[in-house]
A and B are shown apart, each in its own frame.
Chain A
C-alpha cells in the first residue's frame, strides 16, 4: 500500500480492532474482529489510489458505527453465552 495510506490503514486497523473488543454481545464482537482482520488481509496489496481512498473511507465509517453500537450495547447489556469465558 502507498506509504501514507499504509500508516492510515494501520492506525484504522488498530482502532477498529480495539473498539470491536468492546462489544458486549459475543456474536457481534466475534464477527467484527473476524471481518475486520479478513477485510484488511484482502485489501493488503491495494495500490490504486481511488480504491484505497474508498476502502479507507469505508473503514472510517465502520469505526463510527462500531463505536455507536458498542455504546448502545453497554446500555442494554446482553447476557453472557454459555461458551464465553468469565
Chain B
C-alpha cells in the first residue's frame, strides 16, 4: 500500500499516531537506510565510556587518558579490519556528510594547480552534489554521469569523460534510496589505470557487503556510524539545562575547594607560583608552579591523582607550555607546573588527599635537589656561573 501525503494529511497522521507515552501500539520500524536500532552489544561496549571511563584520549599522564586512548585505537583497528585498510588510514569525523565534503573538496583543492575536473553521478547523495557545485563555483568542471534504468552508470560513459586534468571520481557504493550497487571494482580499476583518485560514499554499504579498499582500488571512502547523534545531542541539551540551574551552587562549591587546595599547599611549602591572575580566573582551574621540583617527576609521583601539566592537547610533548612562556613564567618554573582541575563532583576529601600528597612529594623531591640545598644556604642561583662542559 502506498500513498502520497500532502502536508495536512501528514498532520492528521501525526495526531492519530501513538504519542511516546502510549505503550501499546508503537509502529514497526522498516526504515533501515535512515538509521538502525542500536545493537545491545554496541551499547554494552559504549557504556563504560559514558560512565566511569570518561578520560580524554589525549591525556597522556594518567590511567583515565590511557584507557580512553586504548579504546579509541582499538576501535580504529576494528574499523580498519572491516574494510581491509590500515588503521593509520582511518580518520574519525562528525559523519558521512563531513567525510564527503572533506574528500571531494579536499582532493580537488589540493590538486587545483594541476587539475580542473571532477566526475560524479547524477544520483549521488546531496552532500556530494553540493560539494561538486561548490567546486564549480570555484572554476572546476564537473561531469554528472547519467544512470541507466537499472540505476547503474555505464562504464563507457565514465571512460569517455575522463580527462588528463581529472582529479577525482566520486561514485557511491550502495544507493541510499534505491539500493543499487555500482560497479565499484571496475570503476576503481579504471581510475587506477588513468591515475585519478577514486572516492566512494559507502555509508549504506559498510558492514553490509564485503569491502576491501585495496582490492577495489578505493582511495577515499566515507563511512558513517549512524546518523545525527540524537542521544548525544539530547545529552548535551540536558547538560546545559542542569548547568544553568546549578551554576551558582557549583561555583560556590568549587571556589571553596579551590581556596582550600591552594591554602593547604602554600601554607606548608614555599616558592609556589600561581600561573594566571587569581582575580580573573575560574576557580576550578588552578595552575601552580613549584620551584626546584621537576613537573613530570611530581606528576608521576602523584600517581594516585589524575593530573596534568598542561592541557590534554599538548601533553604529548615534553616542551614547557608555550602558554606559560607567554605569561612570562621563568623557564625552570614552566617545567614545574601542574594543573589542578576541580569540578562539580570533586569532594573536599579528594582535595585534602591531593594537597597532602603534593606537600609530601614536593618536600621529598626538594630534599633531593642540589639547587634547593643552595637556596636554603642563601645562595642566589642567578649569580652562579655554570661552567661549560
A27 and B40 CA atoms in complex are apart in Å by 11
Contact of A80 among B26, B40, B44 (CB under 8 A): B26
A32 and B44 CA atoms in complex are apart in Å by 15
By Cβ-Cβ distance, the 7 closest A-B pairs, closest first, are: A69-B40, A79-B26, A79-B23, A82-B25, A65-B44, A80-B24, A81-B26
A66 and B25 CA atoms in complex are apart in Å by 25
Measured between beta carbons, the chain A residues less than 8 angstroms from B27 are: 81-82
Interface contact B43-A80, CB-CB below 8 Å = no
Interface contact A27-B37, CB-CB below 8 Å = yes
Interface contact A79-B22, CB-CB below 8 Å = yes
Q: Is A28 among interface residues, defined by CB-CB distance under 8 A?
A: yes
Q: Is B15 among interface residues, defined by CB-CB distance under 8 A?
A: no
Interface contact B24-A79, CB-CB below 8 Å = yes
Interface contact B37-A28, CB-CB below 8 Å = yes
Given A79-B22, A79-B23, check contact A69 B43 (CB 8 Å): yes
Binary interface encoding of chain B residues 5-47 relative to chain A, with 1 for a CB under 8 A from any of its CBs, else 0: 0000000000000101011111111000000010011011000
Interface size on A, residues (CB 8 A): 19
A83 and B29 CA atoms in complex are apart in Å by 11
Contact of B29 among A27, A32, A62 (CB under 8 A): A27
A82 and B18 CA atoms in complex are apart in Å by 10
Q: Is A44 among interface residues, defined by CB-CB distance under 8 A?
A: no
Q: Shortest distance in angstroms between B18's beta carbon and chain A's nearest beta carbon?
A: 7
Measured between beta carbons, the chain A residues less than 8 angstroms from B22 are: 79
Chain B residue, CB-CB nearest to A68:
B44
Measured between beta carbons, the chain B residues less than 8 angstroms from A72 are: 43
Interface contact B44-A79, CB-CB below 8 Å = no
Measured between beta carbons, the chain B residues less than 8 angstroms from A69 are: 40-41, 43-44
Interface contact A83-B40, CB-CB below 8 Å = no
Binary interface encoding of chain A residues 42-78 relative to chain B, with 1 for a CB under 8 A from any of its CBs, else 0: 0000000000000000000010011011001000011
Give A contacts to B, CB under 8 Å.
Answer: 23, 25, 27-28, 32, 62, 65-66, 68-69, 72, 77-83, 86
Q: Shortest distance in angstroms between B378's beta carbon and chain A's nearest beta carbon?
A: 64
Measured between beta carbons, the chain A residues less than 8 angstroms from B24 are: 79-80, 82, 86
A72 and B51 CA atoms in complex are apart in Å by 14
Measured between beta carbons, the chain B residues less than 8 angstroms from A82 are: 24-28
Chain B residue, CB-CB nearest to A84:
B24
A55 and B115 CA atoms in complex are apart in Å by 54
Chain B residue, CB-CB nearest to A64:
B44
Chain A residue, CB-CB nearest to B29:
A27
Q: Shortest distance in angstroms between B315's beta carbon and chain A's nearest beta carbon?
A: 34
A83 and B27 CA atoms in complex are apart in Å by 8
Q: Shortest distance in angstroms between A86's beta carbon and chain B's nearest beta carbon?
A: 8
A77 and B28 CA atoms in complex are apart in Å by 16
Interface contact A79-B18, CB-CB below 8 Å = yes
Q: Which B residues, 55 to 103, have Cβ-Cβ distances below 8 Å to chain A?
A: none
Having A23-B40, A27-B37, A65-B44, one finds 14 other A-B pairs with CB under 8 Å, namely: A25-B37, A28-B37, A28-B40, A32-B40, A65-B40, A68-B44, A78-B26, A79-B26, A81-B25, A81-B26, A81-B27, A82-B25, A82-B28, A86-B24
Measured between beta carbons, the chain A residues less than 8 angstroms from B37 are: 25, 27-28
Measured between beta carbons, the chain B residues less than 8 angstroms from A79 are: 18, 20, 22-24, 26
Measured between beta carbons, the chain A residues less than 8 angstroms from B20 are: 79
Chain A residue, CB-CB nearest to B37:
A27
- Can you offer 22 A-B residue contacts whose CB atoms are under 8 A? A25-B37, A27-B37, A28-B37, A28-B40, A32-B40, A62-B41, A65-B44, A69-B40, A69-B41, A69-B43, A69-B44, A72-B43, A77-B23, A79-B22, A79-B24, A80-B23, A80-B25, A81-B26, A81-B27, A82-B26, A82-B27, A82-B28
Q: Shortest distance in angstroms between B230's beta carbon and chain A's nearest beta carbon?
A: 14
A66 and B39 CA atoms in complex are apart in Å by 11
A27 and B25 CA atoms in complex are apart in Å by 14
Chain A residue, CB-CB nearest to B28:
A81
Measured between beta carbons, the chain B residues less than 8 angstroms from A32 are: 40
Chain A residue, CB-CB nearest to B19:
A79
Measured between beta carbons, the chain B residues less than 8 angstroms from A25 are: 37
Measured between beta carbons, the chain A residues less than 8 angstroms from B18 are: 79
A62 and B43 CA atoms in complex are apart in Å by 13
Measured between beta carbons, the chain B residues less than 8 angstroms from A65 are: 40-41, 44
Most buried by A among B23, B37, B44: B44
Q: Shortest distance in angstroms between A85's beta carbon and chain B's nearest beta carbon?
A: 11
Q: Shortest distance in angstroms between B30's beta carbon and chain A's nearest beta carbon?
A: 11
